[in-house]
Structure 1
């Protein structure tokens, strides 16, 4: 991949992120009500209209929508996400406290999803035991249909309350990560396994596999050295997309398990109409999604020699 191609794809990613920010800002601004007014107009606070107007001015809520857009965009470009209307804390501080926990959960779930997808795909493409093959080929569609919040509730009921294996109250850091990781990984493993099973079957039917087998190579060698290695390339793209979606899935999972992270932060922001926090979460999630897919897009020609030859041609 040439430098111009890399720069063009980076530019496309920046444009997508800018469009995402703009659409998120417009949609959040179009929501009924005003977070500043809702937060400070309560009679219990005893604030006068003049004081509320001063607070609105401090948050820039009295400016025109276009002026607010430019101010907010300029702040985001330098890492200033504004201040939470609900708590008055800098949004960057809130993100700094919430993102690490969500990131650890997303990475743990993604790694477990890869292990599950590989295991299911290998067992689902075995030719010797037909019933095992049929069973594991049916698992991915079943896993896809499981809502993460429902799966989390079922795991809490069975694993925690009935069996008592993993507590959900007063947990250690590791214990508090087990059930959310399983909950988040299963729906992600399903599409990975579906793509990998189809890719393995396609590679096994290629002529070069017949040629390798004719040379006397063992079946295990053929599968792990030739079939699986080539079948993993199409999975790379879907893996990047799914990892980007993990942030959104982690929000729901964290809300179910009461974990401190972007999930709890999002729920509180939506409940209090805290626009600066909601906008920051949307943009951060979109930035992670776009960055992961950009990395996958740039890595694909490195891993697939056919793309390098086509680009040179």
Structure 2
């Protein structure tokens, strides 16, 4: 019997029978499926093969550092992506606009692990500004958050810039300028709000990418968290823990997109008007 991908160990038939009974493997396939499905519906994914602790407890203990990391990365992605898109669509300097619009493509193309190693090499080893590994205070959170936020912020910048250009080409933008509204006001107060729905939708979708990206980032920066726990569970073939993490990630993904849908009426009055007419 293999343990965690290591060398095989010999066990007695009695021990095998006890293990089968403990994990329900002595039952029929349909009964196992029904039992696992019912337990999963109640949030019970059994015990971790590595530690013997309930999967729910393992996830709960590993979750706080990952929440801190992904929340910080999401804020950086939204602020950085929105700022880059607003600056690129507002400037009248053609070369500067082309340069700013080319940055998101580079951010999307750069592998997360390579960005993390590059930041460690330059910022930590060469300049000595921030710690390379660990999670001691806010300083150790900067590099992992930047690494995790880069691809998501780049995607948001691409979507928001395209949406801004579409909004600024609408007739109402010309009408607002004709009535005396400044270019700055039209761009940042009116166009930005009308163009916010597509990037908001993408932000909800990117939350799943942030959770999956935490596996790489927490491994590169040696941070404890749900991502690193998942990587260790996969390496140790800890199926109950892997299934629990996957189910948790799916639930977070669905909840995030539900919250995004609920935010639509706050940004676009046309959504509220459409719902009122339908009602």
- When normalised by structure 2's length, the TM-score is 0.92
**Which string of whole-angstrom CA distances, capped at 9 and with x for unpartnered residues, describes residues 86-119 of structure 1?**
2111111110111111111111000000111122
Of 132-141 and 291-300, deviating more is 291-300
* Aligned equivalents of 1:132, 1:239: Cα separation in 2: 26
RMSD (Å) for aligned C-alpha atoms: 2.1
Q: CA deviation at 1:44?
A: 8.8
**Which string of whole-angstrom CA distances, capped at 9 and with x for unpartnered residues, describes residues 172-194 of structure 1?**
13122111100000100011000
**Which string of whole-angstrom CA distances, capped at 9 and with x for unpartnered residues, describes residues 216-242 of structure 1?**
112211112111111112211111101
* Aligned equivalents of 1:126, 1:44: Cα separation in 2: 64
Stretches (4+) displaced over 6 A: 42-46
User: For 2:54, which of 82, 90, 95 is the aligned residue?
Assistant: 90
* Aligned equivalents of 2:101, 2:123: Cα separation in 1: 26
Q: Structure 1 residue 292 and structure 2 residue 222: aligned?
A: no
1:261-280 to structure 2, matched below 5 A, reads: 261-280=225-244
Q: CA deviation at 1:68?
A: 2.1
* Aligned equivalents of 2:7, 2:164: Cα separation in 1: 66
User: For 2:79, which of 108, 111, 115 is the aligned residue?
Assistant: 115
> Structure 1: where are the runs of 5+ without partners?
1-36
Q: CA deviation at 1:245?
A: 2.2
- When normalised by structure 1's length, the TM-score is 0.83
Q: Structure 1 residue 142 and structure 2 residue 106: aligned?
A: yes
* Aligned equivalents of 2:51, 2:260: Cα separation in 1: 38
Q: CA deviation at 1:301?
A: 4.0
> Structure 2: where are the runs of 5+ without partners?
none
User: For 1:241, which of 205, 220, 224 is the aligned residue?
Assistant: 205
* Aligned equivalents of 1:180, 1:235: Cα separation in 2: 23
2:160 counterpart residue number: 196
**Which string of whole-angstrom CA distances, capped at 9 and with x for unpartnered residues, describes residues 187-208 of structure 1?**
0001100011011111111111
Count of aligned pairs between the two proteins = 277
Q: CA deviation at 1:214?
A: 1.0
**Which string of whole-angstrom CA distances, capped at 9 and with x for unpartnered residues, describes residues 31-73 of structure 1?**
xxxxxx4339x99976422122202211223323322222222
Q: 1:170 to 1:247 in 2, by over 3 A?
A: closer
**Which string of whole-angstrom CA distances, capped at 9 and with x for unpartnered residues, describes residues 137-178 of structure 1?**
100111110111111111111111111111124551312211
2:45 counterpart residue number: 81
Q: Structure 1 residue 256 and structure 2 residue 220: aligned?
A: yes
Q: Structure 1 residue 224 and structure 2 residue 193: aligned?
A: no
Q: CA deviation at 1:273?
A: 0.9
